[in-house]
Amino acid sequence: MVYLTFVICFLAAIGLTPLVKKLAIQAGATDVPNARKVHKKIMPRMGGLAIYFAFIIGMVILWPVSSYTIPLIAGSVIIILTGILDDLYSLSPRVKLIAHFFAALVIVEGGITVTYINLPFNGVLYLHWLSIPLTLLWIMGITNAINLIDGLDGLAAGVSSIVLMTIAGLALTENDLFVFAVSAVLLGSTLGFLPYNFHPAKIFMGDTGSYFLGYVISVLALLGFKNVTMFSLVVPVVILAVPISDTLFAIIRRLVNKKPLTAPDRSHLHHCLLRYGFSQSQTVVLMYGMSAMFALAAILLSTSTLLGSLLIIIGVMVTIELVVEGVGLVSTGYKPLLKTYKRILSLAKALSPAKAK
pLDDT 10s digits, 122-150: 667 788 888 899 999 999 999 999 998 98
Per-residue pLDDT at 234:
77
Residue 85 confidence class, pLDDT cut points 50, 70, 90: very high
CA–CA–CA angle 265, 266, 272 (5° rounding): 140
Mean per-residue pLDDT over the chain, rounded: 87
Are 52 and 208 spatial neighbours (Cβ–Cβ below 8 Å)? yes
Instruction: Return the higher-pLDDT residue of 116 and 188.
Output: 188
How far is Cα of residue 224 from the mean position of the Cα atoms in its chain?
Answer: 16
Residue 227 confidence class, pLDDT cut points 50, 70, 90: very low
Ordered by start, the domain boundaries in the chain are: 2-356
233: pLDDT strictly greater than 80? no
Residue 117 phi, psi dihedral angles, 5° rounding:
-125, 130
252: pLDDT strictly greater than 90? no
218: pLDDT strictly greater than 80? yes
Mean pLDDT throughout 318-346? 85
Residue 230 confidence class, pLDDT cut points 50, 70, 90: very low
Are 331 and 253 spatial neighbours (Cβ–Cβ below 8 Å)? yes
202: pLDDT strictly greater than 70? yes
61: pLDDT strictly greater than 90? yes
Task: Tell me the Ramachandran region of residue 355: left when phi exceeds 0, alpha when psi lies from -120 to 50, beta otherwise.
Answer: alpha
Per-residue pLDDT at 309:
79
Are 9 and 55 spatial neighbours (Cβ–Cβ below 8 Å)? yes
Residue 308 confidence class, pLDDT cut points 50, 70, 90: confident
User: For helices 177-197 and 48-62, what crossing angle results, to 10°?
Assistant: 150
Which residues does the annotation place in the binding site? 147, 207
Which residues does the annotation place in the binding site for Mg(2+)? 147, 207
Instruction: Return the higher-pLDDT residue of 342 and 101.
Output: 101
Mean pLDDT throughout 294-316? 86
Residue 231 confidence class, pLDDT cut points 50, 70, 90: very low
Residue 40 confidence class, pLDDT cut points 50, 70, 90: low
